[in-house]
A and B are shown apart, each in its own frame.
Chain A
């Protein structure tokens, strides 16, 4: 499990804020989305369909590079954050976090 560390020894580490968007796959029943959709007429709103409810998980990763940070989060998304049987996910970089790693100096 722990063979893949985001921070390699000696590497100049940065910190990256990533977001994982998890959505029910197409064709998978989404009772929450359906319930939201069915409630829309109560708001007097028409013309909205295919409501799907997912989840967004944000995390800060200490890593040597954005690619390394993404690789770790990719694994997390596959094993934990999403259930690949019913959910698809997409990883998005929210931004680099300055000075988030203790002892890691910013390059001059």
Chain B
């Protein structure tokens, strides 16, 4: 029996069916979770998909944060449940305070939609556990507010704890140190593309793994992330979850 993974549908979500498709390819049974319901239907993990939840009014993710489903997701996360936010889903998690930092307008002020490369910061998280080596993963970004910011003390602590899950890198895997480097599509501080919380069970990233889920889409590198999530969710459902203690074995 395949593991059930919830995909939250907000008014304005537009990557929900793509996420469901990617999860199916990873062997999971996707379950749509409507934003007005606080019932997570007993899923083993939750994905917050990309889009423009509640029109992104006020700030991206600001209104979605107060929806009934997000209260349930916050409780699920507090109990150790696996939650992955993609793009707008990352923004919602940041607004909800479930992951550190926040996402502001791209430095260019432009909506950026193109392929980028990211590299995992660690391979022992539930979101990277299916990867066998640190290598650049090719997948698209599509956002106007993806510039990751946090204060220096927070960034330092996150790097120490292994909470920087993904960084933008050049196609050859070399780091994009300068925020103006084209490999960093939005000017994110320290080239941060994805982060996780201190417990390691909640993660968000701006790039779209579900849009790089099959070779016909130009890349199937995104499956490394979705496979990791589904495998970790299945292991937890079977009562043998991998340790997700942040800091242990952090690659950087």
Instruction: Using CB atoms and an 8 Å cutoff, list the residues of chain A in contact with chain B.
Output: 28-29, 31-32, 35, 80-81, 83, 85-86
Q: Which residue of A lies closest to B62 (CB)?
A: A80
**Beta-carbon contact of B62 and A29 below 8 Å:** no
Summarize B's interface: helix, strand, loop or mixed: loop
Within 8 A of A (CB), among B97-143: 101-102, 104-109
Contacts of A29 in B (CB 8 A): 104, 107, 147, 149, 187
CB pairs A–B below 8 angstroms (21 shown):
A28-B104, A29-B107, A29-B147, A29-B149, A29-B187, A31-B104, A31-B107, A31-B109, A31-B147, A35-B109, A80-B58, A80-B62, A80-B63, A80-B66, A81-B58, A83-B59, A83-B62, A85-B102, A86-B102, A86-B104, A86-B149
Q: Is B180 an interface residue (CB 8 A)?
A: no
Interface residues of B in 24-62 (CB under 8 A from A): 58-59, 62
CB closest residue in chain B, given A53: B105
**Does B150 have its Cβ within 8 Å of any Cβ on chain A?**
yes
B210 close to A (CB within 8 Å): no
User: How far does the Cβ of B38 sit from chain A's closest Cβ, in whole Å?
Assistant: 13
> Given contacts A80-B58, A80-B62, is CB(A31)–CB(B149) below 8 Å?
no
